Structure 1
Amino acid sequence: MKKLEAVVEYIVLGSRWLLVVFYLGLALALAMYGFTFLIKLKKLFLEMGTMEETDGILRILSLIDASLVASLVVMVIISGYENFVSKLDGGKQVELNWLGKIDVSSLKVKVASTIVAISSIHLLQVFLNSDTYTGEKMMWLTIMHMAFVVSALMLAFIDRVMPSHD
């Protein structure tokens, strides 16, 4: 029975390596998203002199939004790998001191905060382009944004009041 238990534990512990497929997939998706970012940037550069100021601001906000999404993906990849698969040593080229500080709980707070920032940018884009939205749609978008804000605040509160396991 002890041998069977050891085999099961080996399989269960080894199953964490299946997560690598997800992290590599996210890295590939990030590369594709980076390509679309470059296309948007080129288009903005080529059209900047001929567009209205509001359109330029909206496009720049879209680029900021993309960078926040990309940062979120990197955060999930690195901290997920570090927390669930294997410790990263990074060699001497990369300083990875911050990795040990991102546990699952703080990752949730960071993800929620990033979602709030992305939602804020989207809502700002809506307000800057308000003539194309109905009042009801703007109201619902604001309510959804506030739901993200409240969720992030609650996650941060829970993270703060939970006892630390350091």
Structure 2
Amino acid sequence: MQHSSKSLNFIPRLIFATRWLQLPLYLGLIVAQVVYVILFGKELWHLILHINDLKEADVMLMVLGLIDVVMISNLLVMVIVGGYETFVSRLGLDNHPDQPEWLSHVNASVLKVKLAMAIIGISSIHLLKTFISASQIDRLPACTTEVTVSCTLNTSEGIMWQVIIHTLFVLSAIGIAWTDKLMSHAYHK
């Protein structure tokens, strides 16, 4: 059976066009970004309204919560912009004054390392919030037989697991960066 060259060109073009299936995913992440902007506004408004009723530790926890929202939002921007630019289509931002510096040299490897570092930053904020509120562990009511996430996280065992998970994030990021360095070094030989 003989195939024409036209039919052979169709399949690679079709496969290449499937990258556009990711567009709804990136649009969904933009909606998630809007949700985080609304969440940030609510949390900031709550902080402002209750400023006179809050202790310093409570203010610090709320501000760390705001920073957490911003860092997750930054992660979303990296995934949306970097992922779209890398996997779907060029954004055409050359010479635009607001083009992020990192976008000019983004590729899948750079994006992985940046995402890993952002996840470590987010994990660090969560861990810091846990450490600040750790002094309240003894004053919390005992956990019921139905273990909830908040109950689990507010125990010594929960804190231990958070530290272990954070350490695994750090080790994973080091592994990703090291592998990327080895691969780029081998590629340039």
- TM class by smaller structure: over 0.9
Out of 66, 71, 76, the position equivalent to 1:73 is 76
Residue 160 (1) aligns with residue 181 (2) = yes
CA contact (8 A) 1:89 1:96 kept: no
Q: Which moved more, 1:98-107 or 1:61-70?
A: 98-107
Instruction: Give every structure 1 segment of 4 or more consecutive aligned residues whose post-TM-superposition deviation is greater than 6 Å.
Output: none
Residue 15 (1) aligns with residue 15 (2) = no
CA contact (8 A) 1:23 1:77 kept: yes
User: Which residue number in structure 1 is paired with residue 126 of structure 2?
Assistant: 122
User: Which residue number in structure 2 is paired with residue 141 of structure 1?
Assistant: 162
- Per-residue deviation at 1:61? 0.4
Amino acid of the structure 2 residue aligned with 1:90:
L
Query: Which structure dedicates a bigger proportion of its chain to helix?
Result: 1
Structure 1 residue runs of 5 or longer lacking an equivalent are none
Quote the Cα distance in structure 2 between the aligned partners of 1:89 and 1:16.
17
Same amino acid, percent of matched pairs: 38
Scaled by the length of structure 1, the TM-score of the pair is 0.93
Out of 103, 106, 129, the position equivalent to 1:102 is 106
Residue 31 (1) aligns with residue 34 (2) = yes
Aligned residue-pair number: 166
CA contact (8 A) 1:90 1:96 kept: no
Out of 35, 41, 44, the position equivalent to 2:44 is 41
Structure 2 residue runs of 5 or longer lacking an equivalent are 138-153
- Per-residue deviation at 1:93? 5.3
Higher Rg = 2
User: Which residue number in structure 1 is paired with residue 86 of structure 2?
Assistant: 83
CA RMSD, Structure 1 to Structure 2 (Å): 1.6
Quote the Cα distance in structure 2 between the aligned partners of 1:113 and 1:84.
20
The superposition leaves residues 61-93 of structure 1 with CA deviations (integer Å, 9 ceiling, x where unpaired) of: 011011010000000111111111111113745
Amino acid of the structure 2 residue aligned with 1:107:
L
The superposition leaves residues 31-71 of structure 1 with CA deviations (integer Å, 9 ceiling, x where unpaired) of: 11111110111001111221010010001001101101000
- Per-residue deviation at 1:16? 0.9
Quote the Cα distance in structure 1 between the aligned partners of 2:100 and 2:156.
47
Amino acid of the structure 1 residue aligned with 2:179:
I
